[in-house]
Structure 1
Amino acid sequence: MERQEEQTNSRQENKYRPMGELIRGIIFILFGLFAIFAEKLGMGEFRISPTSMSVVGAVLLLYGLFRVYNGIRKLFFNRN
């Protein structure tokens, strides 16, 4: 009986963790897009050069894409 409850809890935990990765990935993607386009659209002014801000935005965007890919892979394709 206890073993069944542990398996049920671990299954639910495994579903929430990849969803968290998806959400974090989307947030990183949004921050990356903001870093790249905010100054160009007049939404913000940064103290560092636009080139550096574009590089930071690209890194954030790539990391967010990695997180989204990892979350989707774990959520849908990692069946045990």
Structure 2
Amino acid sequence: MREQLAILTRLAFARLMARNGRPAPVILDDALVYSDDDRIEKMFNALHRQAMDQQIIVFSCRQRAFSNLGGHRLRMTDWTPQIT
């Protein structure tokens, strides 16, 4: 339950900042690791609603759990230097 409250608090502060003309993205790093399926689903609904008005960046090792949220998935690729 602490996880969910922490996320909801961040979302509320981000909304207040945006209303005051200082929008800021919400960044979550594996924030729902200890949540059960029902709570994760409810939090996804809250994240989805908030994402309509604000940028939310989610880092997670749980790819399937977050895949239904939509958005843009970033992937790491090997870097090779460009020789000129």
After TM superposition, the score normalised by the length of structure 2 is 0.30
Answer with 1 or 2: which has the greater Rg.
Answer: 1
If each structure's strand is expressed as a fraction of its own residues, which one has the higher value?
2
Q: Which has the higher contact order (CA 8 A, sep 6+)?
A: 1
After TM superposition, the score normalised by the length of structure 1 is 0.32
